[in-house]
Structure formats: structure tokens, C-alpha cells
Chain A
Amino acid sequence: MATNEQYRICPATGLRIYRSAENLIKANAVVAVVFLAVGGLFGFMVAMTRWKAIHLLPAKWFYLVLTAHGLDVLVVWIIFFEMAVLYFASAVLLNCRLATPKLAWTGFALMLIGAVVTNIAVLQGGSSVMFTSYVPMRAAPHFYLGIILFAVGALIGCFIFLGTLIIAKQERTYKGSIPLVTFGALTAAIIAIFTIATGAIILIPTFLWSLGYISHIDPLVYRTIWWAFGHSSQQINVAAHISIWYLIAAVIFGAKPLSEKVSRFAFLLYILFLQLASAHHLLVDPGISSEWKIFNTSYAMYLAVLGSMIHGLTVPGSIEAAQRRKGYNNGLFEWLRKAPWGNPAFSGMFLSLILFGFLGGISGVVMGVEQINLIMHNTLYVPGHFHATVVAGTTLAFMAVTYLLIPLIFQRELILPGWARVQPYLFGLGAGGISVFMMGAGTLGVPRRHWDISMADAQLPYDFPGAANLMMGLNGMSAVLATLGGFIFIVVVVGSLLFGKRIAVGTTEAASGSGQPAASAVGRYGSAEAPAVPGTLAMVGVFFITFILYYFVNWKYLAEIWPLR
């Protein structure tokens, strides 16, 4: 179908970019970054309170700020950015117009209103129920209403993504299968639809309960369904940021996947099994059988882990294959040494890959084992794990791709390139430190949600070993580094949007409806030809050795604190 909608051709990638999609990508990305700044500031305050030597906030403020931090960064920042990714992966990568842009703006407005309403509810002080908002803790009704509005807006975005796939197919803007990055975004959209549906199933009754229309919500039913929303919302991130890894590898290196089929199969494993990992939050809950817990974690979840390990092999492998084609063939790692480490898009993406795999991936599997989970359940180990996945993994990947989006979508040059160059390292080091030290403190038993880990004002205070206090101090220092990295990111991004030199606008013309070839490898279906990736295989070997050692160290640790006689 022909359309008169305006588009331009990106001079750098050859991608056709429709105005409606472009404006929505810009709006979602900008709001996402604003909430990252706000949520990150709250996170800094949480870390400074957990650092015993500083202990910044009083108890009341701590729980308020912790609630706002969780919501703003785990939900609002991430999902706004994911909306930008969905619109990019559909309309831009498929060279087609966006389905129902007006409805997309309605969805955007709902998300924005919902996020603001929930933040207001939290800052008013009566809704310090934290991100999980477990019943019978009751927040103000507009706390739940805001989340529901936000979720409805995000759901609209997901269906517009699916509608855009239909338009692209009908208008034949691509042949064969959709590109791998779009397939990854489809995976994220499917997980998002399940996530939002389960969120609605539990949060709408909870909203009515907060208004007094429903007398009782069963806490165990709440926890079970809420985690289908709460954990799956983080699985959207995994699918989205892995798509971004492939995107960045394709844009910077012209890298093709080692095997399209295998990478797609890995995403299919996510679609089928990734959401089931929500069960690891309920591994010590009474009332649910071991069969349910073990099937959902130790059986089905491992199939999703297989998907992650496939991506962990194929993304660096595709980069290695591309680099070796360019002649970087000396030894195992010349391809990696000669990679553009000064390009924040690459360094951020590669650090995200390493930190996500080694810290977030391994700790997630270990924590998903029913027996080992007893050591660290509800301790700081849990936030340590998800800071490795969501902060060091997803957030760093989203930051990395932002460095590509600024010239591609916003058509601005980066300001302060020196700052941008060091930013991923600062943020990655800080986020990695936060993860490692929180997991260390959690292993020593430090609880995840308590304002004062020494419980000095309790009738039965508890002295943690000195190592736990050391871990909390190192966690605080890491948070300072991560905050500095986050601050530099905000300065560079906002400064580039406001003051960056404008890049010459590409050709703008009326769309005829016939597709044009995208110059970038992002939009192509195809695998690398006969790739040899010995360096990647060596890294995978290191990963497996680390995985096995860490797994058995935890079993040994469990045996020591829970001796079998």
C-alpha cells in the first residue's frame, strides 16, 4: 500500500527512517533517560544509606527512596527505552511505516502519566511498599493506578510493534524472514505482553482492594502472580539487550550471526521458557510443591539458560568472525585487541555482554537451584544478581546503543567525546562492583531490604562479620563510580541533544511503498560464512570453568552451613 508519509534515508546506514517512528523513538528514549537520571539518583541514596559509615537517610526516607528507585529504573526507564527499541526494530529495520502512530502517542502518554502518578504516590509518603508491593502492605490507590496506566500504554506499544510487522509483510518491505534484531525485539514484545497481562491480573484487584472494594487478597496468590509480572518484566530486558548486542555488532563490524537459525532458536527458547524463571523468587515459599518449583526453575529455566549461552557464544563469535575477515588473524585475541575500545557503543556493549554472562547469568542459575537458594534467599545476593543483569547488562547495553542512536536518529554529533569514551568503563566497573559486593554481603546473610543491617534499634541486634561491613563499604564505593558513569552519560546525551553539531539530513522523499535495500548488515538475513572463532571458544571455556567452580563452591558452602550427619 502506498503512503505519503515522509521518510529520510540515514546517510550512515542506508536505513529508511519514517518521521512518525523517528519522533516516537526520540520521545521514548528521552523520557527513558530522564527517568534513568531520577531513578539513578534514588539508587545512589540507597547505596549511601547501606554504607554503614555514611548511613545517609532516616528509615522512613530509605523505604520511600528504595520504592522510587525500584520503580523508576526497573520499570520506567527500561520499558520506555524498550518502546524505542521496538519502534526502531520494526519501522526502521523493516523499512516501513509505523502502524497507527496516533495510537502509539496515546500509549506513550498513558505510560508517561502512569509513571508520573506512581512517582507522586511514592513521594507523598504513603506508598513505601517497595517495587514488589507485597500485600497486605497497602499503598495509595493511585500508586497501583499509575502502574496500571503505564502497563496499558506499554501494551499498546507492543501491539503496534506487531501491527508494524504485518504492515511490513503486506507492503513487502522485506523478503523471507525478519532480521535477527527484529526477531529479538519480537521476543521482547511477546514476553512483555505476558508480563503486562499477569500484572493486570494481580494489580487491578489490588487497586480495587486499596479502594476498599475487595476485602482480601491472598498473599501467596499475590506473590505467585506478581512475580510472573515482576520477574518477567526483567526478561523483556534480556531479550531486548541481546537484540542490541547483535545490532551493535552488525552496525560497527558488519558482523553476521554465526548461524541465523541457531540464534533464532535461542530466542525461541526465551519465548517458551524464560518467563518460568520467575519461580526462583518463590523457592522457599510454603504451599507450592517442589515439583512446581523444580520444573519451573531447574528444568524449564535451564532451557532458557541454554538460549543465553548460545547468544553468549554467537555475539562475540560474530564479532570475531567479522574481525578475522578484515585480517585480524594473529593469535587467539588480535580481533579483540584491535576492536574499537574507544568507541563507547562497542565498549559498553562488550562490557555488558561480559558482566551479564559472568555475573548475572551464573548467579541467576546458582540462585535458581532450590537447595542453594536457601543460602541467599531474600538477602542482598538477590539485588546483587539483578544489578548484574539489569544494570551491568541491560542498562549498559541501552547506554551503548544510545551512542549510536544520537547520530542515527537524533542526527547530532556527540559532545565531549573524551567523556563518552570513559563512561562505559566507569559505569561498568561501578555496576560490576555493586553486583559482586552485594552478592558477597548477601552470601554472608545481609538482608536485602533492611534500612540498618546491624539492626541497632531492634530488641535483638545482630552483628554481621566484619567482611559484611567491608562488602557494604565497597558496594557504596562502587555505587559512587556507577553514579559518576551515569552522570557522565546524562551530560553527554542531554548535551549532545541540545548542543551537538547537527548532522546533515539525508534525503527526504515521499514513500512509494516499495522497499529499498538497507546498506547495513542489521537488516540482512544471513550467517557468517564458515567462521572460525577460536578466541570466542577460549572465552567460552573460561566461562564454563568459572560457572562450574562457582556452582560447586556454593554447594560446598551449603554443606558447611547445613551439615548432613
Chain B
Amino acid sequence: MVHSDDKTGNHPEPPTEDNSEPERIPVMQQILDNPFLLLFLGITIPAVFYVIWGIMEIVHIPIAK
């Protein structure tokens, strides 16, 4: 089980049965807690900036006559 430690400025825990008042989870933590959003970002960014941009530049090289 993973513990949260509020004294060290860490995130609030999600609501549990004995704690019905949910604390607001910061946006950044929500991003970091979402593995599929991270997977999307981790594939899209290099695909756009490295692969697609790079291939577009190569494709635009004029063919020698």
C-alpha cells in the first residue's frame, strides 16, 4: 500500500470511506496520475517534432533531374 504524507507537502489522498470530504487534487497531479494521458503525450510529442517534421523535410527535398 502506498502511503501519503501530508507533512511533506505531498498530495491529498482520494476520498475513502472514512473521509467523505474529497480534497481538490491539483491539475498537475491529475496529469501525473493518468498513465494513458502520459502515454499519449509521450508518443505524440516525439512523433510530431521528430518523426513527422523530419520526414516532411526529407520529402520536400527536390528530386535530382
Interface, chain A (partner B; CB < 8 A) = 94-95, 162, 165, 173-179, 183, 186-187, 190-191, 193-194, 197-198, 201, 218, 220-221, 224-225, 228, 232, 256, 259-261, 264-265, 268, 271-273, 275-276, 278-279, 282, 287-289, 292, 295-296, 300, 515-518, 523-529
Contact = CB atoms under 8 A, between A and B. Distances in A.
Contact of A268 (B10, B11, B38, B55): B38
Interface string B52-65: 01110110010000
Contacts of B54: 224, 279, 282, 288, 292
18 contacts: A94-B2, A173-B1, A175-B14, A176-B11, A176-B14, A177-B32, A190-B38, A224-B54, A224-B55, A261-B28, A275-B45, A275-B50, A289-B57, A296-B50, A518-B1, A525-B3, A527-B5, A527-B9
Interface string B1-29: 11111011111011010000000000011
A10 to B, nearest CB: 15
Nearest to B53: A292
Contacts of B50: 228, 275-276, 278-279, 296
Contacts of A527: 5, 8-10
A489 to B, nearest CB: 32
Contacts of B43: 190, 193-194, 197
B61 A287 contact: yes
B39 A526 contact: no
Given A165-B35, A175-B16, 13 more contacts: A176-B2, A176-B4, A176-B11, A178-B33, A194-B46, A225-B55, A272-B45, A279-B54, A288-B54, A523-B2, A525-B4, A526-B5, A529-B8
A526 B57 contact: no
Contacts of B14: 175-176
Contacts of A273: 45
B3 A232 contact: no
Nearest to B46: A275
A177 B33 contact: yes
A177 B51 contact: no
**Interface band, chain B:** 35 or more
A21 B18 CA distance: 32
A347 B8 CA distance: 29
Contacts of A279: 50, 54
Interface of A is mostly: helix
A193 B47 CA distance: 12
A166 to B, nearest CB: 8
Interface of B is mostly: helix
Nearest to A218: B58
A525 B42 contact: no
Contacts of A516: 1
Contacts of A162: 35-36, 39
Of the candidates A177, A264, A273, the one having the most CB atoms from chain B within 10 angstroms of its own CB is A177
Contact of A295 (B7, B13, B49): B49
Given A165-B35, A275-B50, A526-B8, A177 B16 contact: no
B53 to A, nearest CB: 6
The 9 closest A-B pairs by CB, nearest first: A526-B5, A190-B42, A275-B46, A174-B2, A271-B42, A527-B8, A515-B1, A176-B4, A224-B54
Contacts of B5: 524-527
B49 A268 contact: no
Contacts of A232: 46
A278 B36 CA distance: 23
Contacts of A228: 46, 50-51
B61 to A, nearest CB: 5
A558 B28 CA distance: 42
Contacts of A259: 9
Contact of A276 (B32, B46, B58): B46
A186 B37 CA distance: 12
Contacts of B39: 162, 190, 193
B1 A175 contact: yes
Contact of A178 (B2, B31, B36, B46): B2
A186 B38 contact: yes
Of the candidates A276, A300, A525, the one having the most CB atoms from chain B within 10 angstroms of its own CB is A525
Contacts of A275: 42, 45-46, 50
Nearest to B2: A174
Nearest to A517: B1
Contacts of B8: 256, 260, 526-529
